Structure 1
Amino acid sequence: MKLHIGGQEKKEGWKILNIQKENNVDFVGDIKDLSQFSDNSVEEIYASHVLEHVEQQKVNDTLKGIYRVLKQDGKFYVSVPDLDVLCRLFIHKDAPANIKFHCMRMMFGGQTDEYDFHYFGWNFGFLNDYLKRAGFKEIKKVDTFSLFNDTSDFAPYGVKISLNVIATK
């Protein structure tokens, strides 16, 4: 099984886990609790702009849960707002207020519903350290996954605002 956490787009070979029951959702649940899945049962996990919604004190356990359900040599595709990029855009001397406001929302969440809040600001250093602590053996930053049409490739101001990483169990 391949698991798309937080997804909405149906794609052949992938099952969708989402915290909200919507069209195309196969499993209702939270990235913080993957207990509905057996150990070593998932080939690949994809989570785009989901991990930042996990409270700081729950990040370690969440990543260990992802590691637990992945098969040996399984891949975790994770995309998060890149705090380094967003900060550069935010403090740029020529950035207009609307761009600064949009960057701020990417940092703290759009806050459009009870789930749309960000608890963690990620950069590669933080993500690399947390993934290593969870047990991942290979961690690689990539430009794109080319898997789903989502915010992992979002470049509203000429630069991608997402940090895209593939971690291998």
Structure 2
Amino acid sequence: MKLHIGGETKKEGWKVLNIQPGLFVDYIGDIRDLSQFDDNSIEEIYASHVLEHIEQNQTSEALKGIFRVLKKNGKFYVSVPDLDILCRMFIHKEATSKIKFDVMRMIFGGQIDKYDFHYFGWNFEFLSDYLTKTGFSKIEKVETFNLFKDTSELKCYGSYISLNLIAYK
């Protein structure tokens, strides 16, 4: 099985886990609790702009849950807003008030519902450290996954805004 955490669209070969019900949601649940899935039962997990929505002090446990359910050599595709890129955009000398406001919403969440808040800012150093401590053996940084048309591929003001990593169990 391949699991898309936080997804809303249907894609052949993938099941969707989301905290909110939806037309194409196969499982209702939270990235922090994957107890509905067996150990070593999932080949690939995709989570785009989900990890920043959980409290920093719950991140290690959430990643341990992902690691637990992944099969040996399984892949975890994780995308988060890249705080390094967003900070550079925010302080750029040509950044207008609108650009700064848009960047601020990317950092703190759009805040359009009770789930759309960001608790933590991620960059390569922080996220790769968490993934390594969880037990992932190899971590690759990629520009895009070419899996889903979502925020992982979003370009704002000429720059990709996401940190996209593939972590291998």
Task: Pick the TM interval, shorter chain.
Answer: over 0.9
- Distance in 1 separating the partners of 2:133 and 2:106: 26
> What is aligned with 1:152?
152
- Distance in 2 separating the partners of 1:136 and 1:12: 27
The gaps in structure 1 that reach 5 residues or longer are: none
- Distance in 2 separating the partners of 1:97 and 1:20: 33
- With normalisation by structure 2, the TM-score equals 0.99
Name the aligned partner's letter for residue 9 of structure 2. E
> What is aligned with 1:116?
116
> What is aligned with 1:24?
24
> What is aligned with 1:91?
91
* 1:124 Cα offset (Å): 0.2
* 1:69 Cα offset (Å): 0.3
* 1:9 Cα offset (Å): 1.4
Other structure's SS at 1:74 match: strand
Name the aligned partner's letter for residue 154 of structure 1. L
Q: Within 5 A, what are the aligned runs for 1:61-76?
A: 61-76=61-76
> What is aligned with 1:143?
143
- Distance in 2 separating the partners of 1:57 and 1:156: 29
Percent identical among aligned pairs is: 69
> What is aligned with 1:55?
55
* 1:93 Cα offset (Å): 1.0
Question: Over aligned residue pairs, what C-alpha RMSD do you find?
Answer: 0.4
- Distance in 2 separating the partners of 1:9 and 1:85: 27
Name the aligned partner's letter for residue 153 of structure 1. E
> Which aligned segments of 4 or more residues in structure 1 are displaced greater than 4 angstroms?
none
Name the aligned partner's letter for residue 119 of structure 2. Y
Other structure's SS at 1:25 match: coil
Deviations 1:30-81 (A, max 9, x none): 0000000000000000000000001011000000000000000000000000
